Amino acid sequence: MKDQRQAMVSGLGAVLLWSTVATAFKLTLGFYTPLQMLLVACMASIVVLAVLLAARGKLADAFRLPPARYLQSVGLGLINPCLYYLLLFGAFDRLPAQEAQPINYTWALVLAYLSVPFLGHRLKVTDILAGLVCYGGVVVIATRGNFSALSFSDPLGVSLAIASTLVWAGYWILATRDRRDPVTGLFLNFLFGLPFIAALTWWQDGLPPIVSGGFAGSLYVGVFEMGIAFALWSRAMKLATNTARVSNLIFISPFLSLVFIYFIVGEVILVSTWAGLVLIVAGLWLQQLGARKAVEPAHG
């Protein structure tokens, strides 16, 4: 049953949780390596997703699928959580949170671009304009407003952040062919990705110490960013009578995130960060506006 009010409540809950994760990433990476953080977070997320499936009576069904579905989960699991979060956590490890976080939000624009060759979508003028505005914002943030030098504060960190948007957008394009329940699919992807993460962590950095502030932070990331927030957003999309109104909530998240970064992490938010973030959000809004106008004639 559709319920726009409940959809908005669930959407706001997801946005609030996503707004805290940049802070959680940065604080946790003060204790753990990106691999160690990913290992604990992935395990926590699997537990949360299993509980959510069990509560809906669907946990047993996750283990009754055809073998091809499990092979699919191995492939998708190598992309998300393995590759995506390694790139994202690597970016946060090298960059201030106020720089890594806004760049990560450009993934929605990357998704629109990748949908052209892989899904057969048409590239619109608004998509091109949105790209110029968005990546203008990325340049402002990455150079900290020093356009004349065009010198990035950390070229590798910026590259990791941008690469994470490519991987995340690619993952969602592949996921469009996944006919499983979204929570079931994510649960299995994480479950099959976990052995690879564990092996790589043990080989590269050693298993993470449990008696550490990093353990609590990683649990938070796994439970809320990878688990509950995803479930809340999926519920919001399912209940919404107007998905556009719910989708617009996501624009609150990057600004709220900077507030948490300032008060909890203690980073002084640069003017260039605010300016760049405004450009990124404006570009995303422009791209979304163009997408809605393209859909309207089909319904009218």
Per-residue pLDDT at 294: 59
Residue 166 and residue 113: Cα distance in Å, rounded?
A: 10
Do 190 and 39 form a contact (C-beta atoms < 8 A)?
Answer: no
Do 227 and 43 form a contact (C-beta atoms < 8 A)?
Answer: no
Per-residue pLDDT at 273: 93
Residue 159 and residue 164: Cα distance in Å, rounded?
A: 9
Which residues of the chain register pLDDT less than 50?
297-300
Per-residue pLDDT at 239: 84
Per-residue pLDDT at 257: 94
Per-residue pLDDT at 298: 41
**All structural domains of the chain with their residue ranges:** 4-299
Residue 114 and residue 111: Cα distance in Å, rounded?
A: 5
Per-residue pLDDT at 300: 39
Per-residue pLDDT at 292: 65
Per-residue pLDDT at 297: 44
The DSSP-derived string for the chain is ---HHHHHHHHHHHHHHHHHHHHHHHHHTTTS-HHHHHHHHHHHHHHHHHHHHHHTT-TGGGGSS-HHHHHHHHHHHIIIIIIHHHHHHHHHHHS-HHHHHHHHTTHHHHHHHHHHHHH-PPPPHHHHHHHHHHHHHHHHHHTTT-TTTT--S-HHHHHHHHHHHHHHHHHHHHHTT--S-HHHHHHHHHHHHHHHHHHHHHHHT-PPPSSSHHHHHHHHIIIIIIIIHHHHHHHHHHH-S-HHHHHGGGGHHHHHHHHHIIIII-PPPPHHHHHHHHHHHHHHHHHHHHHHHHHHHHH-
